[in-house]
Each structure stands twice: as C-alpha cells, then as structure tokens.
Amino acid sequence: EGKVIVVILPDTGERYLSTDLFEAQ
C-alpha cells in the first residue's frame, strides 16, 4: 500500500515524506 500512496502523491517531496512515514510504521 505504501507504493499506492507514492503514486497518488504527485509531488516528490510529499512522496518522500509519505514513504518515510509508511516505513516508520
């Protein structure tokens, strides 16, 4: 699902933050 979040977010910065939060959980 983490990858799905990355795809949804168009901004690279947002994508990075989303991925970081996903991995933190």
Question: Which pTM does this prediction carry?
Answer: 0.21
Which pLDDT score, from 0 to 100, does residue 3 have?
64
Which pLDDT score, from 0 to 100, does residue 23 have?
72
- Using an 8 Å Cβ cutoff, are 15 and 6 in contact? yes
Give residue-wise pLDDT tens across range 1-25. Answer: 566 655 555 666 666 666 776 676 6
Which pLDDT score, from 0 to 100, does residue 21 have?
67
Which pLDDT score, from 0 to 100, does residue 4 have?
63
- In this structure, the chain runs to a length of 25
Domain boundaries, the chain: 1-25
Q: Radius of gyration (Cα) for the chain, nearest Å?
A: 8
